[in-house]
C-alpha cells in the first residue's frame, strides 16, 4: 500500500479541506491518506475551536484514513519547526509522498525557491539578521530577505511567493523533507475559494476559510452560509461541542486562567518560558496587570517586532507550562500518537506498523516521556478552559469509522 501524507489543523474542517483530501488521493494515487493533525492548541498559538478527537473524526469522515497527532512541542512552534515535526511523523509512518495546499498551486516554484535559498544561504541568513536588528518581526525579515535574493535571480525560473501563508508552510515542508527523508515526493494543489484570513464566503464555490467559519459561528451560530461552507459532519460536531462545553475554544475563555498565571509567575519566571525574548516578559506582565480582556491585553503587548501570532504562541507556553529547557530538549518526535483510523487505515497499520521508525501509541498511559507529558498537560488544560473534564487522553481510544 502506498501512503500519502497531509499536515492539517482542521479548525474546523470545511469544504476546502475536503477538496484537498480528495485531490491528494487523486494526484498521488495513494492507497491510504495519513493526516498529521495539531492537537488542542494550534500553530498560531490558539486554542482549537473544537477538541482534537472531534476534529480527528471529521478528518476520517472526509477522506483521511489515519490521523496522527502532531505533538504539542511542534504544533505550537514557528513554521520551520512545525514542518520538521510533521514531516518527521509522516516519514516515520512510511509515507512516500505528501501533498499540501498552496497559493501557487504548482510544485516547481517551490523546488526553485528551495534551490535558490540553498545556493544563497550565507547571504540570505546575513540579510535576515540585518533586518531583524532594524526592529521588524522575524517573519517579515524572512520575507524581505527572500524577495531581495529572488529579485537578483538571473535565470527567470518561477519562484514561490513566500509572503503567502500556505506557500510559507509548503516551502518548510519541502525543506524538512529534503533533510529528513529525501525520497519523499512532494505534491501541491492550489487553494480554492477564499484566502487564509478572508472573512467572507467565495461567491462561486461557497468555500469559507476556517477563520471565517469560526467568526461566523461565534457571531450568528451555524447559519445557512456556514452550512454551505462545511460538511454536515462539521456542523454537527460544532453543535455538539457547543452544547457540551457552553461555547467553543478561544482565548477569551482561557484569559481568566492565563492572566493569574502571568501575574503569579512574574518577570523572573516568565523569562524562562519557551520562545520568550529578553525584555518581552516585562511587557507581558504590565499588560496582564492592566488589561480587562484578552484583546485589550494583546493590543497592549504587540509591536512591529512582536507579532500577534508569536505572542499567542508564547502565551500558550505560559498556559501549558513549556519552558525553554524542555522546548530545546524535545527536538524530535518520539512516538506516533494515533487519534483515529478507517478500515483502510487499520489495514495499513496492520501491514506496516512493525516497519515504522517510531513506536505507535494508541492510548496515553502514565509515562516519564516529557513530550507525551506535554501533550497530556495541554489536553487537560484545554479541557479546563472549555468546561470539560481533564484526563480524556487516558480515557479515549482512537476514533474508528466504518
Binding residues for ATP: 7-20, 101, 166, 191
Nearest to 99 by CA among 196, 182, 22: 22
Give the bridge partners for 66, in sequence order: 34, 341
Please give the grid coordinates belonging to residue 282: 516585562
Cα 250 from Cα 92, distance rounded (Å): 32
**Own/partner pairs, 226-235, CB within 8 angstroms, 24+ separation:** 228/201, 229/14, 229/15, 229/201, 230/12, 230/13, 230/14, 230/15, 231/13, 231/14, 231/15, 231/18, 231/58, 231/61, 231/62, 233/13, 233/57, 233/58, 233/61, 233/62, 234/12, 234/13, 234/14, 234/58
Q: Is the dihedral of CA 287, 292, 297, 299 positive or negative?
A: negative
Yes or no: say if 27 and 187 are a contact pair by the CB < 8 Å rule. Answer: yes
DSSP 271: T
Residues that constitute the known binding site:
7-20, 101, 166, 191
Yes or no: say if 184 and 90 are a contact pair by the CB < 8 Å rule. Answer: yes
Nearest to 105 by CA among 210, 30, 211, 20: 20
Cα 154 from Cα 157, distance rounded (Å): 8
HEC-encoded secondary structure of 24-49: HHHHHCCCEEEEEEECCECCCCCECC
Nearest to 196 by CA among 5, 16, 69, 349: 16
The DSSP bridge pattern shows strands 336-341 and 66-70 to be antiparallel
Amino acid at each position: 500500500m502506498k501512503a500519502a501524507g497531509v499536515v492539517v489543523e482542521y479548525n474546523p474542517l470545511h469544504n476546502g479541506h475536503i477538496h484537498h483530501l480528495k485531490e491528494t488521493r487523486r494526484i498521488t494515487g495513494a492507497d491510504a491518506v495519513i493526516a498529521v493533525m495539531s492537537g488542542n492548541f494550534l500553530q498560531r498559538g490558539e486554542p482549537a475551536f473544537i477538541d482534537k478527537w472531534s476534529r480527528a473524526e471529521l478528518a476520517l469522515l472526509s477522506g483521511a484514513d489515519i490521523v496522527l497527532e502532531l505533538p504539542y512541542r511542534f504544533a505550537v512552534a514557528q513554521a520551520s519547526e512545525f514542518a520538521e515535526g510533521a514531516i518527521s511523523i509522516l516519514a516515520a509512518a512510511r509515507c512516500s509522498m505528501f501533498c499540501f495546499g498552496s497559493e501557487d498551486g504548482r510544485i516547481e516554484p517551490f523546488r526553485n525557491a528551495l534551490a535558490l535559498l540553498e545556493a544563497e544561504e550565507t547571504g540570505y541568513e546575513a540579510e535576515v539578521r540585518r533586518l531583524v536588528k532594524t526592529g521588524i518581526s522575524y517573519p517579515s525579515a524572512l520575507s524581505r530577505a527572500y524577495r531581495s535574493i529572488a529579485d537578483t535571480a538571473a535565470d527567470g525560473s518561477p519562484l514561490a511567493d513566500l509572503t503567502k501563508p500556505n506557500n510559507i508552510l509548503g516551502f518548510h515542508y519541502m525543506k524538512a523533507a529534503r533533510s529528513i527523508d529525501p525520497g519523499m515526493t512532494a505534491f501541491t494543489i492550489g487553494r480554492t475559494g477564499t484566502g487564509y484570513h478572508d472573512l467572507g464566503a467565495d461567491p462561486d464555490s461557497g468555500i469559507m476559510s476556517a477563520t471565517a467559519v469560526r467568526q461566523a459561528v461565534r457571531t450568528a451560530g451555524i447559519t445557512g452560509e456556514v452550512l454551505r461552507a462545511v460538511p454536515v459532519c462539521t456542523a454537527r460536531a460544532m453543535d455538539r461541542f457547543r452544547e457540551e462545553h457552553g461555547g467553543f475554544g478561544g482565548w477569551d475563555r482561557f484569559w481568566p486562567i492565563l492572566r493569574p498565571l502571568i501575574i503569579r509567575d512574574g518577570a523572573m519566571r516568565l523569562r524562562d518560558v519557551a520562545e520568550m525574548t529578553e525584555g518581552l516578559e516585562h511587557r507581558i506582565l504590565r499588560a496582564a496587570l492592566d488589561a480587562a480582556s484578552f484583546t485589550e491585553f494583546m493590543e497592549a503587548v504587540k509591536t512591529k517586532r512582536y507579532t500577534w501570532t508569536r505572542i499567542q504562541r508564547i502565551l500558550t507556553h505560559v498556559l501549558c507550562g513549556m519552558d525553554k529547557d524542555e522546548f530545546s530538549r524535545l527536538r524530535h518526535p518520539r512516538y506516533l500518537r494515533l487519534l483515529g483510523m478507517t478500515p483502510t487505515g487499520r489495514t495499513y497499520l496492520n501491514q506496516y506498523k512493525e516497519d515504522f521508525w517510531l513506536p505507535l501509541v494508541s492510548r496515553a498511559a502514565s509515562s516519564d516521556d516529557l513530550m507525551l507529558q506535554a501533550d497530556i498537560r495541554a489536553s487537560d488544560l484545554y479541557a479546563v478552559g472549555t468546561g470539560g473534564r481533564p484526563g480524556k487522553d487516558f480515557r479515549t481510544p482512537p476514533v474508528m469509522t466504518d
